[in-house]
Each structure stands twice: as structure tokens, then as C-alpha cells.
Amino acid sequence: MSDEPVILGPPAKLNLTLEVLGRRPDGYHDLASVFQAIDLRDVLRLWPAASLSLECSTPDLVGEGNLVLRAARLLQAEAGVATGARLHLAKRIPVAAGLGGGSSDAAAVLVGLNRLWGLEWPAESLVELAARLGSDVPFFLGPPTALAAGRGEQLSPLPALAPHIALVVRPALRQPPPRDKTRRLYAALRPEDYRDGAASRQLAEAIGAGRPLDPALLVNSFERVARGLCPEVAEAAAAMLVAGAWWIRLAGSGPCLYTLFRQDGAGAQQAAAEAEGLRASGVEIHVAATLAGDAALNAHIGPDSI
């Protein structure tokens, strides 16, 4: 077992599409979604220790119900590890915002402890544990672009998306999102919010063929209900339009919003101009590149990379 700390950079993700197909007999919902990881990262540090402990830059997130600790305890139990680890999580991904930060952190813990404890578990074993922690967690152990089905855990890797810049905006919320935000959003869906998955399939085909993204395909079944339950979402969207955005989409179940630009000189200038135009509106702004390549999303990073 190494005495050196392991440092990981768990990334956020965008649901380029998020189609709710309908309610299942088990109470969950079937989904069709295209996932895309972006270079907006938390920072997770892991050191050897006698027992498991977690420190976080957002103290309210620390507790036995934290998905990071749950992931650590699950791997510890399944691997029969007697020792522990000291975990420190620096949050940069907005919390409960539709960007998958908690799921990404959980995946990072599995990767980091697998290395710290010298387990040498194959990726397939970590993916099996990840699926037990949450539907989104397995995605963060694989390629950065994927078509998701089922509850989101059935993943089909896609070719790399052409490089884009994401402008991600968290509305200025007058009160924190409720803990049961996602449950409320699902409960508020109407039959007209359900979709058939065609947009996700068409987008996956377009990415595979290397065609430019068509914003008309970037659909989200939660758009209506999120704006209804959180008026600040509509306010932030209006501010983005004033700042020059051509189109805006909800990130996951929200309340974050995003728009994309091609990663070239003109796109970078436009993203910077729109970010500057939003600064006076009180929203939280993040500019991040889409991730590409075959490397696992939670690969080890060095201190110079954070």
C-alpha cells in the first residue's frame, strides 16, 4: 500500500438529452440520455489512515449519508479491507444542480481507494459497485460521451464529441433546492413531458457521424417543470438570452442551465463575451471544455493539474 496521497479530479457532466420515457413497475423511470463530461472538476485527495473519514470544503455535505463515504464503505466491505483512508473533497461543481457532481465524486472514491489500497480490481468490478450506488455513477468510470438507457445505468460509449466550450450557469437561488428536488420534479411530470427517446438516438447517430450538434435535438423532459418549480431558472435563462446566448438548455434536473460553443477562436470569444455579460446578473458562472478520449474520467491527476 502506497504512503503517497492519491489526487483525483472528478468531472461534471451534461445531459445533452434527457428524455423520460415513462414510469416503470418498480417506481423508477426509464430514460434515454446522451451524457457528456466536461472539465469542471471537484478535487478529491486520499491518504492512508487507520479508519475512514471525510472532510469537505462544504461542511454541510459531510455525514454518513454522503455518497463519497457510502462508496468508500462499500468498497472497503466488498474487498475486505481492514484499514481506512482520510478523504478530502474540495467542491467546485455546484451541488444539487443537475451536473452529476455527487455521482462523479463517488466514482472517484472507488478509483482512488482501489489505487491507494493496492487492490488492483478491474474496471468491470468497480462498475458493478458503482451501479449499486446510483444510476449515474457508472458513467464516470468510462469514456466521456455515452448514450444511456434504463435508469441511466445502461451505457453505450459514443465517439468523442467535437470539442466544445460549455457555459454553465447556476441561477441565483433565493433558497437552497429541496433535498427531494428530483422526486418532486418526477412527480410534476405530465404525459406531454414524456418522450420516445428518438432525439437521444438521433443525437447519438449525429455524434457518431461527426455532424455538428443540432440544438433542436438537445431536449430535456424536465424543462417545463423545473421552470415552474424554480422561478430563478427562468430568470437566469432570460439573463443568458440578454447576454447573447442563441439557445439555452436545462442541465440534468437543474437548476443549472448551459449553452455550448465550438471550441475555436470565435467560439471562445463568444463564450467569454457572454460570461462577461452575465456577471452583473448575480448568477454563478462556469466555463468548461467538453472532455474527449478513451481515458477513464477519474484518472489520477497531479497537484500541478488542479
What strands, in cross-sheet order, belong to the sheet with 11-23? Answer: 11-23, 29-41, 145-149, 154-157
Q: What's the pLDDT tens digit per position in 233-246?
A: 999 999 999 999 99
186/180 Cα distance (integer angstroms): 10
305 band by pLDDT with thresholds 50, 70 and 90: very low
52/83 Cα distance (integer angstroms): 8
Say what the pLDDT of residue 301 is. 57
User: CA 15 from chain center: how many Å?
Assistant: 8
Q: Please determine, for residue 13, whether its predicted confidence score (pLDDT) is greater than 60.
A: yes
Q: Where exactly are the structural domains of the chain?
A: 6-159, 164-289
2 band by pLDDT with thresholds 50, 70 and 90: low
List the beta bridge partners of residue 12.
Answer: 38
CB-neighbour burial class of residue 285 (10 A; exposed 0-12, middle 13-18, buried 19+): middle
Q: What's the pLDDT tens digit per position in 33-67?
A: 999 999 999 999 999 999 999 999 987 777 777 89
Say what the pLDDT of residue 298 is. 65
| Residue carrying the nine cell digits 488542479 | 306
Please list, in sequence order, all residues whose beta carbon lies within 8 angstroms of the beta carbon of residue 67, skipping any fewer than 6 positions away: 102, 103, 105, 106, 133, 134
What is the arithmetic mean of pLDDT over 135-163?
94
| 98 touches 227 (CB < 8 A) | no
143 band by pLDDT with thresholds 50, 70 and 90: very high
Helix or strand (DSSP H, E) at 52: strand 52-56
256 band by pLDDT with thresholds 50, 70 and 90: very high
Report residue 178 as a C-alpha cell.
Answer: 429541496
What is the arithmetic mean of pLDDT over 255-279?
95
What is the arithmetic mean of pLDDT over 265-290?
94
Please provide the CATH number assigned to the domain covering 164-289: 3.30.70.890
168 band by pLDDT with thresholds 50, 70 and 90: very high
272/1 Cα distance (integer angstroms): 45
Say what the pLDDT of residue 304 is. 43
pTM (predicted TM-score): 0.93
Say what the pLDDT of residue 113 is. 96
Say what the pLDDT of residue 297 is. 67
167/217 Cα distance (integer angstroms): 18
Residues annotated catalytic, as ranges: 13, 136
- What amino acid is encoded at 296 in this protein? A
Please list, in sequence order, all residues whose beta carbon lies within 8 angstroms of the beta carbon of residue 48, skipping any fewer than 6 positions away: 1, 2, 3, 83, 85, 86, 116
Say what the pLDDT of residue 68 is. 94
Say what the pLDDT of residue 299 is. 55
Strand pairing report for 164-170 and 257-262: antiparallel
| 42 touches 92 (CB < 8 A) | yes
What is the arithmetic mean of pLDDT over 208-216?
95
Q: What's the pLDDT tens digit per position in 293-303?
A: 765 566 555 54
Task: With H, G, I as helix, E, B as strand and everything else as coil, classify residue 140.
Answer: helix
Distances (CA, A) of 58 to 54, 55, 202, 214: 11, 9, 39, 37
User: CA 224 from chain center: how many Å?
Assistant: 21
Q: What's the pLDDT tens digit per position in 176-185?
A: 777 778 888 9
Q: Please determine, for residue 150, whether its predicted confidence score (pLDDT) is greater than 70.
A: yes
Say what the pLDDT of residue 302 is. 52
Say what the pLDDT of residue 28 is. 84
- Percent of the chain at pLDDT above 70? 95
108/106 Cα distance (integer angstroms): 5
Which of 232, 256, 262, 201 lies closest to 33 in space, CA to CA? 201
Report residue 84 as a C-alpha cell.
Answer: 481506512
Domain 6-159 has CATH 3.30.230.10: yes
What is the arithmetic mean of pLDDT over 135-143?
94
- What amino acid is encoded at 51 in this protein? S
